Amino acid sequence: MTEREYRDWLVARDREMALEIDSSWFHGSIVDLLVSEFPNARFVLTIRDCYSWLNSEFKRVLHTPSQQPQRVKMRAFVYNGVATTHAPEERVLKEAGLYPVDNYLARWAAHNEKVLATVPRERVLVVRTQEIRARANEIADFAGLPRYALQMERTHEYRNPVQREIIRELEPKFLEEKVERHCRPLMARFFPEIRTLADVKLAGGTPAVPG
């Protein structure tokens, strides 16, 4: 598709589906088109600390290791292009069919930075993912939705059953160097209390202290 064709498709899709809310992580890749084609739209950027997010991405791939062509192409589009080979410290990722750490963290930073740089400040609300439930009324008000429509019991409806925490299997110094390289400015801005993996509680609720 040309950009014009893609813009036309976005508008036609919106009209056909009569969307009031359109939620997708992939929208970060086309946020510039969404901002210009839908001038009355508002955007909620949910941001997760890079450690928890990285751990979640690892677990998501482990849960859906399908080699379907569509999945392979999508993952290559999203995560290929920064590092082409695995460092010795991340051999465990290679064995699990995961991309190098650089590729994931660079994508985390690029996604959030693009949204923040593209959407006018008055049209975007940034919410840390662990605060979604606490800020649900604020989100509804920002989006112009009635508070009675909120379904609080569905704020964390999907839980990945994978228990393995590969992020803990990485050499700590190696991981922290990658975080400093790609993520520190955004982490300092939105998660100043998190300096290392040891400051994070992962999905299972246990402290992420490498051992």
Burial (0-12, 13-18, 19+ Cβ within 10 Å), 25: exposed
- Separation of alpha carbons 77 and 75, rounded Å: 5
Q: How confident is the model at residue 142 (pLDDT cuts 50, 70, 90)?
A: very high
C-beta atoms surrounding 36 within 10 Å: 10
Q: How confident is the model at residue 47 (pLDDT cuts 50, 70, 90)?
A: very high
**Helix or strand (DSSP H, E) at 64:** none
Burial (0-12, 13-18, 19+ Cβ within 10 Å), 52: buried
Q: How confident is the model at residue 74 (pLDDT cuts 50, 70, 90)?
A: confident
- Separation of alpha carbons 15 and 143, rounded Å: 19
Burial (0-12, 13-18, 19+ Cβ within 10 Å), 167: buried
**Is residue 182 within 8 Å of 105, Cβ to Cβ?**
yes
Strands 124-128 and 43-47: parallel
Strand partners for 128 = 47
Lookup: tokens for 30? 């086309």
Q: How confident is the model at residue 207 (pLDDT cuts 50, 70, 90)?
A: very low
User: pTM of the prediction?
Assistant: 0.86
Whether residue 104 has pLDDT greater than 90: yes
